[in-house]
Every structure is written in C-alpha cells, then in structure tokens.
C-alpha cells in the first residue's frame, strides 16, 4: 500500500506567493502618460522647508510668474532665479514653457526651492520622458529637512540658556 504525499497548508501558501512574485516580475512597469488639463497645462505641487508652491506649466516663451509678479521682481537674488531655471536647463527646455506659480509659507529661499520642485514635477507630467534626467539631478525628491522645533527648558531647539554659577 502506497502512502500518498499530503500537502500542508503552508506549502500551498508558498506556491501561491511564488506565483504572485513571478507574475509581478513578468508584469511591465506602468507607463506614465501625459497629464494636462483642458487648457493644456500641467499642474504640480512643490514643497521645501515650510513653503508650498502650486505650479502650472504650459508651452510658451519662458515667462515665469510667481504670486502675480515676474520672477526677477519676486526673487531678487540671482541664486534664487538660477535655482528656478535648473530643471529647464537639465531637461534642455529653456524658454519653452511659461510657469505660473503661487507660493505660501517659509522664506524666499524655501519658496524658490518649492517652485523648483514644482516645476520639476510639472515637467515630468507634461513630458514623462524627462523623468530620468530630472530624477538623476535630484529635482524630483522633496528635501525633508525642516527647522527643528524649540523645546521647553531650552533657548532654542538645542541651545541651552546661559549658565550662571551663582
């Protein structure tokens, strides 16, 4: 009399898990499509420190408007204006898109970083093939560094009050 091998419940689970992993490996990665609204604009949100920028990108002459003002007026420092132009330079799309951005929170440096992040995200939504160079340049990653909160019993986040011997 031959004894038939019985399957345990865990061996069935292993087989089904192996099938799921194999099917996931065989599946093609999801192709990203162009995301534009009815006016032909792509929208993205950029963040840096405490600043949040809502960015609309559309084909145009390269005009950048931030909170209703031209970028040269809103961002007076050349380094901040250079920061905003970086995604276009990496993508090779200088003076091909108009940008309309509204920024709230933070200071000017954080706002410039937020606009740069938003422009990068909007570029990838308008032209998905620009994602690899922007990702390699680090423009799609949100910088997680924010100001540390002040603690009680301290002068700041970490600084102690001045020591007095007597």
Contacts 24+ apart (CB under 8 A), 144-151: 145/49, 146/49, 146/50, 147/49, 147/50
The residues facing 97 across adjacent strands are 59
> pTM of whole model > 0.75?
yes
State the CATH class of domain 42-137.
alpha beta
pLDDT over threshold 90, residue 121: yes
Closest listed residue to residue 122, CA positions, set 100, 106, 152: 100
- Other Cβ atoms less than 10 A from the Cβ of 26: the count is 7
Domains of the chain: which residue ranges? 42-137
Task: Report the pLDDT value the prediction gives residue 42, as an integer from 0 to 100.
Answer: 93
Per-residue pLDDT band for 37 (boundaries 50, 70, 90) equals confident
């Amino acid at each position: 009399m031959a004894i038939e091998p019985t399957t345990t419940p865990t061996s069935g689970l292993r087989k089904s898990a192996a099938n799921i992993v194999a099917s996931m490996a065989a599946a093609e990665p999801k192709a990203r499509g162009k995301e534009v609204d009815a006016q032909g604009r792509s929208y993205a949100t950029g963040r840096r420190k405490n600043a949040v920028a809502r960015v609309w990108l559309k084909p145009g002459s390269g005009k950048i408007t931030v909170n209703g003002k031209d970028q040269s007026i809103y961002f007076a420092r050349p380094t901040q204006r250079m920061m905003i132009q970086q995604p276009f330079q990496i993508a090779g799309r200088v003076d091909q898109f108009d940008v309309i951005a509204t920024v709230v929170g933070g200071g000017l440096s954080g706002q410039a970083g937020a606009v740069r992040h938003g422009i990068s995200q909007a570029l990838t939504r308008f032209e998905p093939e620009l994602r690899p160079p922007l990702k390699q340049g680090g423009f799609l990653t949100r910088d997680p560094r924010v100001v540390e909160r002040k603690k009680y019993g301290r002068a700041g986040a970490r600084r102690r009050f001045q020591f007095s011997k007597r």
